[in-house]
């Protein structure tokens, strides 16, 4: 009988130890689960650019300025050639969102064509931030002039 009590006690101790492990494991698992559930996925950053179609809406401000200044130099124009003036708030500033001027849509078509030609014929995959080597760009045909230079 004494042996049975000792064996029963060992079984209880093992069971008690297993319960402790189970409680600790369950507690840690719950903490991990609560941590995962409470973590929010990162919110997508809202784009500050409105009505941008060809260039990435994730383009940084300094990159956008470089791209637009590049267009100005290569075409011999200033911003208001493609962008309408803001008639409401400040008539001296451009309304970059407006599609009022036909030149803006023509520029979009030309830019799409240029990206297509670089990708198809030169294997140059320029991303929509305009980063990457370009074989053909605005200056290839325009050479700093509004109208493309042909046969020169």
Number of Cβ within a 10 Å radius of residue 71: 21
Cα 21 from chain centroid (whole Å): 47
Q: Are 65 and 75 in contact (CB under 8 A)?
A: no
Q: Are 95 and 101 in contact (CB under 8 A)?
A: no
Q: Are 71 and 79 in contact (CB under 8 A)?
A: no
Helix (H, G, I), strand (E, B) or coil at 94: strand
Which range of 14-23, 41-50, 51-60, 125-134 scores highest in mean pLDDT? It is: 51-60
Mean pLDDT of the chain: 83
Q: What is the pTM of this model?
A: 0.64
């Amino acid at each position: 009988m004494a042996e049975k009590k000792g064996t029963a006690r060992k079984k209880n101790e093992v069971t008690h130890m297993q319960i402790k492990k189970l409680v600790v494991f369950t507690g840690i698992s719950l903490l991990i689960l609560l941590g995962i559930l409470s973590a929010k996925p990162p919110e997508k950053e809202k784009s500050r650019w409105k009505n941008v179609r060809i260039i990435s809406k994730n383009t940084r401000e300094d990159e956008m300025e470089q791209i637009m200044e590049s267009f100005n130099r290569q075409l011999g124009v200033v911003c208001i050639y493609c962008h309408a003036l803001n008639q409401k708030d400040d008539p001296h500033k451009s309304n970059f969102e407006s599609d009022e001027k036909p030149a803006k849509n023509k520029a979009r078509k030309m830019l799409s064509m240029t990206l297509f030609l670089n990708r198809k014929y030169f294997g140059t995959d320029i991303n929509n931030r305009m980063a990457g080597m370009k074989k053909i760009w605005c200056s290839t045909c325009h050479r700093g002039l509004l109208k493309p230079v042909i046969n020169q």
